[in-house]
Structure 1
Amino acid sequence: MNTLPELSNHTAMAASGQTRAAAAPRLKLSPQGVSIDHPDPELGEQLMADALGVPDRDAMHGILRQLVKASVSGKKPDAVNLAFMISMVESIKPRDSIEAMLVAQMVSVHVMAMRCVYHLAGANAARHDSAVRALGMLARTFPAQVEALTRYRNKGEPAITVQNVSVGDGGKAIVGNVTQHAGVIVSEKSPASAQDSTSHCRTREDDCVDAEQEAQA
């Protein structure tokens, strides 16, 4: 059993393909603290670092300690909550330290929101309003965090997908999804369709010119 050490030196951990494919190891809670339950202590730490999306041992222990504290129920860390939180972090797959911190906050906010739901169900009149306000704040925070993660992963460019397009008489629709990134629209329309659309516009313009000439004559 590998007890989490107090590390003072920054120790890099290079992940292999084998560790990235494996699931995060289980944790054990004891009066002495939290430990990674793995027969190979070094591999166990690497697996946990990969699951949390952090590059080194210091960051892994830091995020893990924060998740342990966020899992506290009844003044003690809760093993079930902690396992759930680590599983959620692993499923979201943070790709760097920024994402690791944001995802850890996300799962922590979710756990707190569900606690508010539990307390709200049995709250008396005096605590009902405060529980509702807390739940509302957490419920607004979580989607904001999801949006922040999405924007960060898209390099700050929110993706906008247009699914329904209205086309008037004589018009042509673009077949396929249309995604807009920072003012640039990319569609799945083929070059031939683009040429047909251009030719159509020119034909309509020529018709207008001919009609105007006939009227003048």
Structure 2
Amino acid sequence: MEIKSSTKFVAELIGTFGLVLFGCGAAAVAGATTLGGLSGLGLLGIALAFGLSVVVFAYAIGGISGCHINPAVTIGVLVAGKISVKDAVIYIVAQLIGALLGALVLQQILHGQISGFNSGEWAYGSNGWGKGYQNEYGITAAFLTEAVLTFIFLFVILATTSRVGNSTMAGLAIGLTLALIHLVAIPITGTSVNPTRSFGPAILAGGQALSQLWLFIVAPVAGAILAAIVWLVLKPKGTLSR
């Protein structure tokens, strides 16, 4: 059955919207200790929020668009020959809009605090590095982390969704991989491996988050392209990827 481009557009928009709202929302809203004394989600909780978001939308919209919800994934899949240039452009535009809308809703929720909300630098779950961010890792560590972990993420996606992979469990495997990635990278960059996940919050946060956004575009895309090339070389001959 042929799926219309407009349907794929809406699916990717909604999926990316949900990923940003749930993932960045977990970091910005529930990640910190509440006034009532309840402990926040912590590292594991935030990692699971991102990972489970991917699992949920993989099964919700995977049959429509493949559930990329990430320009690095779309570009990697394009390099691997599994999507057309036209669809790749449609996906990326949808992802950018969805991420911005997700961050905008999160912003409005946070500013609804009666006691007032002080956004500060790197607000709304923004990614970053350097002085004042998380454990203050430098730019080299940040770039290496994002590139290598995106490489792993994209390789898992290509392998599990191929004809030699277990496609029925692909959504779960991909989501768990993203959760593992967050366990490593949250203290370093807040974890992107997804340019639009960084784009939405950075646009609204401005300042350092916006000035550092380039790294969270370049590093994930570089890692995804390399993963696609490696997959094309290593995949079993005589098989066609889905």
Greater helix proportion:
2
When Rg is computed on C-alpha atoms for both structures, the one with the higher figure is 1
Greater strand proportion:
1
Decide: shared fold, TM above 0.5. no
Pick the TM interval, shorter chain.
under 0.3
